[in-house]
């Protein structure tokens, strides 16, 4: 991951991918990844290089439009995209996310991974339906990690924790609405 990001510094997506095709992808294939997955891994990180400081060309362009500090905007973009940095590892460990395999396995994997990524973003930002307390953030983060992990043994407890926390959040929201009436 780090090598892929470093090799992509200062380059648009396509040249960054070409550089990685010559350097990173052979190493990933030697490590046991199928070629299709290795190429998707490298291409994905080639696209993320444009928001990662110190280059962060997309973040600097956005900062100049907003008349904001480019360095701070780059780090904010990286923080907001933190979940995106995990996705390539998800499909490296479970190829069903790339729509490879039986349809039922692809459906279940994509569904649990999508919910897990959503939960991880909610835990990192501290907001689900309402603002999350520290314990709720830990719970949503734990649910996210369990849902992202490619196993039913992990996904079922993760779904149970998420359902419990969503119930708490919906009840809090209903209570707040009643108090404002």
Q: What is the pLDDT of residues 1-48, one digit of tens each?
A: 677 767 767 778 888 899 989 998 999 999 999 999 999 999 998 888
Q: Which of 112, 111, 135 is nearest to 123 (CA)?
A: 135
The number of domains in the chain is 2
Q: What is the pLDDT of residues 85-100, one digit of tens each?
A: 999 999 898 889 999 8
Distance CA 46, CA 89 (A): 14
SS3 131: strand
The verdict on 84 and 116 lying in the same domain is: no
The verdict on 22 and 63 lying in the same domain is: yes
The verdict on 43 and 77 lying in the same domain is: yes
The answer to whether the CB of 86 falls within 8 A of the CB of 120 is yes
The verdict on 26 and 47 lying in the same domain is: yes
The verdict on 89 and 11 lying in the same domain is: yes
The answer to whether the CB of 83 falls within 8 A of the CB of 91 is no
Distance CA 30, CA 38 (A): 10
The verdict on 117 and 43 lying in the same domain is: no
Could you give the angle at which helices 13-30 and 35-48 cross, rounded to 10 degrees?
A: 140
Q: What is the pLDDT of residues 68-77, one digit of tens each?
A: 998 888 888 8
Q: Which domain holds residue 177?
A: 96-181
């Amino acid at each position: 991951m780090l090598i892929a990001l470093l090799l992509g510094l200062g380059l648009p997506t396509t040249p960054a991918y070409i550089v990685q095709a010559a350097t990173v992808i052979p190493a990933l294939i030697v490590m046991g990844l199928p070629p299709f997955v290795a190429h998707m891994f490298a291409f994905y990180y080639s696209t993320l290089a444009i928001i990662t400081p110190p280059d962060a060309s997309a973040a600097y362009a956005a900062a100049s439009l907003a008349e904001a500090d480019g360095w701070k905007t780059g780090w904010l973009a990286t923080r907001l995209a933190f979940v995106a940095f995990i996705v390539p590892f998800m499909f490296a460990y479970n190829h069903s996310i790339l729509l490879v395999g039986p349809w039922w396995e692809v459906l279940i994997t994509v569904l649990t991974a999508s919910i897990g990524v959503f939960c991880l973003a909610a835990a990192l930002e501290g907001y689900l339906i309402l603002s999350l307390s520290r314990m709720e953030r830990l719970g949503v983060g734990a649910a996210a990690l369990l849902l992202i992990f490619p196993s039913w043994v992990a996904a079922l407890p993760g779904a149970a924790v998420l359902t419990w926390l969503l119930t708490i959040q919906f009840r809090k929201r209903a209570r707040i609405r009643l108090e404002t009436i």
